[in-house]
Chains A and B, each alone.
Chain A
Amino acid sequence: DAGVIQSPRHEVTEMGQEVTLRCKPISGHDYLFWYRQTMMRGLELLIYFNNNVPIDDSGMPEDRFSAKMPNASFSTLKIQPSEPRDSAVYFCASSFKGIGTNEKLFFGSGTQLSVL
């Protein structure tokens, strides 16, 4: 298996622009997570899906952020409009079972987002 695949690896954009991050989870994994990592705040959970349904989006910072999972093999995280404080590494992760079962999380390589 190729693992969790994220695109793009790097994104540089200007403030106010729309940014779309993409993720393909490992086939057969029912759970998909979006995390954000910064030096100041570490790794933060933004949202997670179970069987394509958003379960907890309490970590989404504000209405500028939205996430979708139209099918089992694809998810997007969109920021519109983007702001410089959104600059971070965004990781997608997937797991076969939920995180409460000692299940291992598999992370993608991340998207380094820079908003100028």
Chain B
Amino acid sequence: RKEVEQDPGPFNVPEGATVAFNCTYSNSASQSFFWYRQDCRKEPKLLMSVYSSGNEDGRFTAQLNRASQYISLLIRDSKLSDSATYLCVVYQEYGNKLVFGAGTILRVKS
């Protein structure tokens, strides 16, 4: 089983739609969580950290469920520019490493 699992998609949605991605992690000792965004043929960039109480940044909302070991990302009012691969990332203190999921592809179409 992979340490961080994501549905690879692609998720094909129209502009203005709301879309949600989930991510599960296997190590219950994981401490910090993030969503990174990667455009085609580009480097990953931090989208947002995920806090235990949930957090929002504009149209983006991240949630963490430690009991079920999953993280979610909700995008409201999707824009064409949201089209990208979204990487779920988990920090594990043991080993002091970031573990990246394989990513979920989002395509927003007009």
Interface residues, chain A, with chain B CB atoms under 8 Å away: 42-45, 55-56, 91, 98-100, 102, 104-105, 107-110
C-alpha spacing A84/B45, complex, angstroms? 28
Q: Of residues 36 to 79 in B, which have CB atoms within 8 Å of A's CB atoms?
A: 42-46, 49
B43 and A108 contacting across the interface, CB-CB below 8 Å:
yes
C-alpha spacing A110/B44, complex, angstroms? 10
Residues of chain A with a CB closer than 8 A to B32's CB: 100, 102
Size bracket, chain B contacts: 10 to 19
C-alpha spacing A10/B46, complex, angstroms? 24
Identify which of B42, B95, B96, B103 contacts A42 (C-beta below 8 A): B103
CB of A56, distance to nearest CB on chain B (Å): 7
Interface residues, chain B, with chain A CB atoms under 8 Å away: 31-32, 42-46, 49, 87, 91, 93, 95-98, 100-103
Residues of chain A with a CB closer than 8 A to B97's CB: 45, 56, 99
Residue of B nearest to A41 (CB): B102
C-alpha spacing A43/B96, complex, angstroms? 16
CB of A100, distance to nearest CB on chain B (Å): 6
C-alpha spacing A100/B99, complex, angstroms? 12
A42-B103, A43-B44 in contact; A102/B49 too (CB < 8 A)? yes
A100 and B49 contacting across the interface, CB-CB below 8 Å:
no
Residues of chain A with a CB closer than 8 A to B102's CB: 42
**A-B complex: 8 closest residue pairs judged by Cβ atoms:** A107-B43, A43-B100, A42-B102, A104-B46, A99-B98, A107-B44, A102-B32, A109-B43
